[in-house]
């Protein structure tokens, strides 16, 4: 399953929600991961030399393992391998392999922006996983499906799907998936600007993950906490979790996550107007980005670098980074952050007294702002409807939980009453037995007395 979305430039919560799923698999250093890829390839080649290897479930599983390692660098391989494993699994009636194939295929369509197709395959995977009673794949498919609904702004459906997954994870005591679902649902609340709720779910995720001692997942949760605190405006509270996350990801050599936490650290310093410190962390992220093929995620980095250099009055360098961000944004036809990029370019050129260029950027800024506003107005109408459904779903969940708790308490009280009733009955029966035994003894004694007479 891919660990980075390629639909559009996503907000930071969208990035970390998707990568959270990938924490199910072991976290390795760059060297270890490369070694693992070679080991998997060697195992695949070895099994291909055996007769009828296509009918071997081990072969299908190895293909799935391989795609987990290569998905970040070759999107097309998702579709090719998923189609292959689905076909092979169907031929030998290997339901688990078929289900995972559907999840991988859904991930491919998600990454290319075909959300309806992605939802179709995630639902198909979910139905199959439930039919074969595979809890891990059921929770995996619920998580992917809920995220896809969220990306479509169908928040009510997303919430309901996440909550269903959480209930299953709780009932089955699945501590592997429960913290991941908590992380992902926190993003949903974050998008609703309910940051306190987001923080609450992240803290729950942290508590559950303590039992797993999964350091990579701990780092992810701490990163998300730092991001949430920044959104709330509580910069001081963001410092500790982001520092801990940096230590964890540096120890694990998780470069994709390091770029993210370095940018969070840089953002903290930018908000405090400490541009030298911001630049230190943003430059560290830039170095790592050179070896990561995620072009669209360079847009927010370059924008932050532009702001840092502009704050240091290095206008020429600031402009160069902003232009880079603008070029990538236009190449990818990506409107996210475009207005911010044009705004800082306008401010830089205005400060340089290059009024002609400043005017060009200002006009482009106004035009793109109008386009974004129109799209946002249409989107907000859709989101408003979804938000109303979201609130109704949330209230229903709370009400259902209250009823469930009430029912549980009723069962407890009823059980206590039954136990109490049985206790009373037993006491009465014992007392009656004692009286009856006493009477019987007296009757025997009287009988003996009469016989003597």
Task: Compute the average pLDDT of residues 109-138.
Answer: 93
CATH class of the 1-162 domain in this structure: mainly alpha
Contact 150, 187 (CB under 8 A): yes
H-type alpha helices, 253-354: 255-271, 275-289, 298-311, 315-331, 338-351
The percent of residues above 70 in pLDDT, for the chain, comes to 73
The ranges assigned to domains in the chain are: 1-162
Helix, coil or strand: residue 61 = helix
Is the pLDDT assigned to residue 325 strictly greater than 80? Answer: yes
- pLDDT band at residue 5 using 50, 70 and 90 as cut-offs: very low
Is the pLDDT assigned to residue 32 strictly greater than 60? Answer: no
- pLDDT band at residue 68 using 50, 70 and 90 as cut-offs: confident
**How far from chain centre, in Å, is Cα 243?**
21
pLDDT tens string 179-196: 999 999 998 888 777 888
Check: pTM over 0.85? Answer yes or no: no
Give the model's pLDDT for residue 312: 96
CA distance linking residue 453 with residue 424, whole number of Å: 43
Give the model's pLDDT for residue 111: 79
Is the pLDDT assigned to residue 435 strictly greater than 60? Answer: yes
What are 231's two structure tokens? Answer: 């959104």
pLDDT tens string 222-260: 999 999 999 889 999 999 999 999 999 999 988 889 999
The percent of residues above 90 in pLDDT, for the chain, comes to 49
Q: Any idea of the CA torsion for 365, 368, 290, 107, to the nearest 10 degrees?
A: 160
Task: Compute the average pLDDT of residues 153-163.
Answer: 87
Give the model's pLDDT for residue 357: 92
Highest mean pLDDT among 40-44, 80-84, 291-295: 80-84
CA distance linking residue 296 with residue 325, whole number of Å: 9
pLDDT tens string 280-304: 999 999 999 888 767 778 999 999 9
What letters, b where the CB count within 10 A reaches 16 and e where it falls short, cover 29-68? eeeeeeebeeebeebbeeeeeeeeeeebeebbbbbbbbbb
Task: Compute the average pLDDT of residues 423-437.
Answer: 66
Is the pLDDT assigned to residue 3 strictly greater than 50? Answer: no
Enumerate residues 6+ apart whose C-beta is below 8 A from 99.
Answer: 125, 128, 129, 132, 134, 137, 141
CA distance linking residue 137 with residue 346, whole number of Å: 50
What letters, b where the CB count within 10 A reaches 16 and e where it falls short, cover 125-139? bbebbbeeebbbbbb
Give the model's pLDDT for residue 212: 86
Q: Which residue has the higher pLDDT, 411 or 323?
A: 323
Task: Compute the average pLDDT of residues 299-319.
Answer: 96
What are 363's two structure tokens? Answer: 């006009």
H-type alpha helices, 3-134: 12-21, 30-48, 57-70, 76-91, 95-111, 115-131
Is the pLDDT assigned to residue 103 strictly greater than 90? Answer: yes
pLDDT tens string 355-366: 999 999 999 988
Contact 298, 289 (CB under 8 A): yes
CA distance linking residue 338 with residue 300, whole number of Å: 10
Q: Which residue has the higher pLDDT, 276 or 17?
A: 276
Residue with tokens 């009477």: 439
Task: Compute the average pLDDT of residues 153-173.
Answer: 90
CA distance linking residue 91 with residue 84, whole number of Å: 11
- Furthest C-alpha separation in the chain: 138
Q: What are phi and psi of 326, to 5 degrees?
A: -65, -40
What are 398's two structure tokens? Answer: 């709370």
Is the pLDDT assigned to residue 396 strictly greater than 70? Answer: no
Q: How many Å from the N-terminal Cα to the C-terminal Cα in the chain? A: 100
What letters, b where the CB count within 10 A reaches 16 and e where it falls short, cover 313-327? ebbeebbebbebbbe
Give the model's pLDDT for residue 18: 38
Give, to the nearest 10 degrees, the angle between helix 235-252 and helix 255-271.
Answer: 160
């Amino acid at each position: 399953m891919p660990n980075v979305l390629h639909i559009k430039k996503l907000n930071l919560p969208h990035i970390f929600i998707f990568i959270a799923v990938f924490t199910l698999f072991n976290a390795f250093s760059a060297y270890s991961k490369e070694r693992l890829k070679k080991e998997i390839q060697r195992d695949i080649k070895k099994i291909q030399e055996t007769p009828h290897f296509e009918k071997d479930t081990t072969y299908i599983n190895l293909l799935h393992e391989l795609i987990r390692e290569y998905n970040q660098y070759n999107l097309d391989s998702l579709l090719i391998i998923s189609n292959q494993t689905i076909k092979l699994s169907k031929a030998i009636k290997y339901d688990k392999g078929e289900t995972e194939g559907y999840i991988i295929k859904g991930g491919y369509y998600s990454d290319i922006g075909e959300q309806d197709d992605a939802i179709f395959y995630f639902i198909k995977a979910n139905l199959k996983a439930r039919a074969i009673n595979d809890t891990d794949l059921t929770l995996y498919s619920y998580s992917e499906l809920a995220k896809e609904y969220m990306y479509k702004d169908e928040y009510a459906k997303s919430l309901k799907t996440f909550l269903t997954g959480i209930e299953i994870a709780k009932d089955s005591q699945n501590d592997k998936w429960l913290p991941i679902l908590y992380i992902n649902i926190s993003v949903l609340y974050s998008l609703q600007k309910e940051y306190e709720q987001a923080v609450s779910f992240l803290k729950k995720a942290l508590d559950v993950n303590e039992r797993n001692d999964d350091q990579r997942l701990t780092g992810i949760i701490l990163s998300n906490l730092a991001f949430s605190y920044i959104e709330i405006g509580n910069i001081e509270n963001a410092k500790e979790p982001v520092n801990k996350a940096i230590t964890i990801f540096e120890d694990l050599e998780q470069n994709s996550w390091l770029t993210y936490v370095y940018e969070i650290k840089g953002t903290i310093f930018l908000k405090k107007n400490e541009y030298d410190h911001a630049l230190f962390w943003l430059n560290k992220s830039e170095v790592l980005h050179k070896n990561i093929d995620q072009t669209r995620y360079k847009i927010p980095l370059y924008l932050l670098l532009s702001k840092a250099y502009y704050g240091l009055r290095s206008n020429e360098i600031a402009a160069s980074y902003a232009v880079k961000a603008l070029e990538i944004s236009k190449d990818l036809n990506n409107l996210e952050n475009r207005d911010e990029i044009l705004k800082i370019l306008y401010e830089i050129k205005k400060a340089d007294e290059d009024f002609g260029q400043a005017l060009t950027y200002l006009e482009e800024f106004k035009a793109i702002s109008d386009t974004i506003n129109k799209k946002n107005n249409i989107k907000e109408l859709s989101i408003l409807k979804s938000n109303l459904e979201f609130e109704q779903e949330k209230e229903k969940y709370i009400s259902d939980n209250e009823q469930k708790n009430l029912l549980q308490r009723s069962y407890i009280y009823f059980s206590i009453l039954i136990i109490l009733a049985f206790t009373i009955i037993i006491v009465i029966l014992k007392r009656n037995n004692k009286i009856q035994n006493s009477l019987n003894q007296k009757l025997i004694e009287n009988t003996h007395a009469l016989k003597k007479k």
